[in-house]
Structure 1
Amino acid sequence: MDLQQMRYVLAVAETANFTRAAERCHVVQSALSHQVARLEQELGAQLFERTSRRVRLTAAGEAFLPAARQALEAAERARAEVAAATGEIRGRLAVGSIPTLTAVDLPAVLQDYRRRYPRVRISLRAVSSERMVEQVRDGGLDAGFLGVPPGFRPQGVRDRALAHGRHVAVVGPDHPLAREREVDLRRIADETFVDFAEGSAARAQSDEAFAAAGLRREVAFEVSGVELMSRMVRHGLGIALLPAAFAADLHGLRSVPVTDGPERVERLIWSRFTPSPAASAFLALLDGRDGGGSAPRR
């Protein structure tokens, strides 16, 4: 078997379609199908179940896929290491981030990074904090930006704190609280809330603050993103608790300080193993921007 065959198998698995996989790989479908069939013959097992309506992985295909991904990633890492030894940074950089990140101007950082290292393929994924730790630990992401309660420490990765702040109550312009200079949790406990899903790190910050104060609240609306949350607050369906620095930029809404409100720490995480050249360059760039001293340098 060779790496190209593995790429074809991966493309078919991700698209669930031989035609779309061939288009992604820039080859004719007959050539791709022939190579997949040759690989299946060599392995002595079918990787895909093919019908007129769908293509899906067999049990053998499910077993083959993780190792194929690892082989392709190892080959790409080898090329990147050789290039780095000759003074060129190339390869891929996969970064995860919460949508409410404020400690780092991530678009500006990525623009600077692309200017310095144009041969690196950059991808950015919006991921919840808890999933981001898992993906950095497993190698799916090179680095990630979390927003977590102060006592949270990610396991299996390296990390450092970037910023610490409090949440504010975010209300519509016509809400009675919009005229308040500040409130406490008891004052807002009877409000209807719009918040993230129960069990998520983004939700835990608020839940823990109310629990510590001995208060209960009603979260009537659970959403997955801040854009929908903002729209619902703007329409008067409830209020929200969001980081002060992020809430300040929400158009048409009012931010009211909460004296005993939730606290949040934004953390940078990266692999506990030796980063790739592309990841090392990214961490060094962040280190130079914020003066942090714990990100690894090559």
Structure 2
Amino acid sequence: MDIRTYTAFATVAGLQNITRAAERLNQTQSALSRQIKALEAHLGVRLIEKAGRNIRLTPAGEALQARVNAVLQADQKLHALAEDMSRGSSGLLKVGACSQLIERYMSGFLGPWQRQNPGVEIRLEDGGGPELAQKLREGHLHLTVSAAPPMLDDSIARVQLGVLGFLAVGVPALMPDPGAGRHIELGALLDQPILTLNRRHASREVFEAACRVLGAHPRIALESHSPHTLFAMAQGGNGIAVVPSCTRPDPERLSCRPIALRGTPVRFDIFAMWGSRAILPGYAERFIADLGAHIRADQALPEPEMAPRPGWLHAV
């Protein structure tokens, strides 16, 4: 049976509408109907039936849908493997990431990696976690690197690359006394105006979740897409910046402390993410593995506020 026939059935099963499926496949409704009937004749069972203006899968169609999708994924994987072999593991990889992760990790990683993988072209796009996830779903990106946005569904696969915390950054006069420890309690910060990243960043949701645990409402003085803007405002004494720990404030001008909630450091995971139905080429899998190793090596450096510890308040 032609793989195009299985593709036709998978599309009809997903949309449950012959008209929309035909438009998606760029063919006529009659041609699509003939393909479905041919598949039913080949398998000896009815796969779809009418349901008003739409169609629905029969019990046999529902039972076979997952198997057909597995056939299509196997076909994609075979073609991806053949393409890798024919192109010498070369190709284009479009990667989205937030500016903080690009500055901290990509800047030192990409040059050496591309020298070791000269046939792979990397195109980076800066953006926030939720908007990058949407571009991933729409096929504009192959891969994203960020904190997982809220309401992440099973259309996106992911693998953890590292763990980040939060830093309180401000002039010493505004910073609360951490006492004997290194961490500043989140509740002690909220007496001051808060300078924070905007909601384009998935880390903002983690910060707000920690505030909800306290039953607190921070007084937001500035929302920005750039941590550098937050640092400039903090340096002017306009509030305390709350930023992910991958950022790099100027230690000569600003005081910087990791943030805890009731004694537990506030942390969140960062992931590589891609479409769960996509078959990643070998060079994309190498990119993910090597970037994860680079990030974990960076986080293993002697920076106490970055070192993972047991008992985190761990938001995913």
Aligned to 1:184: 185
* Contact 2:195-2:234 within 8 A present in 1 as well: yes
Name the CA distance, whole Å, in 2 between partners of 1:276 and 1:145. 17
Superposition deviation, residue 219 in structure 1: 0.4
Question: Match of 1:230?
Answer: 231
Matches within 5 A, 1:11-26: none
- Measured in 1, the distance between the counterparts of 2:229 and 2:103 equals 22
C-alpha displacement of 1:175 = 3.1
CA 1:159–1:236: 2 relative to 1, 3 Å:
same
Q: Give 1:141 shift.
A: 1.5
CA distance in 2, matches of 1:146, 1:215: 26
Distance 2:279 2:236 in 1: 48
How far the C-alpha of 1:259 sits from its partner, in A, is 2.6
Q: Give the C-alpha shift of residue 225 in structure 1.
A: 1.1
Structure 2 match to 1:162: 161
Query: Structure 1 residues 242 and 271 mapped into 2: Cα distance closer, same or farther (>3 Å)?
Result: same
**What is the TM-score when the length of structure 1 is the normalising length?**
0.60
8 Å CA contact retained: 2:105, 2:295? no
Correspondence for 2:95: 95
Query: How far apart in 2 are the matches of 1:167 and 1:237?
Result: 19
Q: Which moved more, 1:139-148 or 1:98-107?
A: 98-107
For the pair shown, which has the larger CA radius of gyration, 1 or 2? 2
- The whole-number CA distance in structure 2 between the counterparts of 1:140 and 1:114 is 22
Q: Counterpart of 2:111? A: 111
Q: Contact 1:101–1:266 at 8 Å: present in 2 too?
A: no
Mapped to 1, the partners of 2:167 and 2:85 lie a distance apart of 48
In the TM superposition, what is the alpha-carbon distance from 1:281 to its structure 2 partner? 3.9
Is 1:282 paired with 2:287?
yes
Q: What's the TM-score once normalised by structure 2's chain length?
A: 0.57
SS at match of 1:202: helix
Unaligned runs of 5+ in 1: 1-78, 292-298
Q: Distance in 1 between matches of 2:114 and 2:148?
A: 28
Aligned residues: 213
Structure 2 letter corresponding to 1:139:
G
Identity %: 20
1:267 aligns with 2:268: no
Q: Which amino acid aligns with 1:275?
A: L
Q: How big is the shift at 1:250?
A: 6.0
In 2, distance between residues paired with 1:87 and 1:198?
Answer: 40
Change (3 A) 1:109 1:244: closer
1:191-230 → structure 2 map (5 Å cutoff): 191-198=192-199, 200-230=201-231
Task: Describe the SS at the equivalent of 2:187.
Answer: helix
The 1:236–1:179 alpha-carbon spacing in structure 2 relative to 1, beyond 3 Å, is farther
> How far has the Cα of 1:251 moved from its partner?
5.8
> What is the root-mean-square deviation of aligned Cα atoms in Å?
3.4
C-alpha separation in 2, matches of 1:247 and 1:178: 21
Question: Does structure 2 conserve the Cα–Cα contact (< 8 Å) formed by 1:133 and 1:154?
Answer: no
SS in structure 2 at match of 1:105: helix
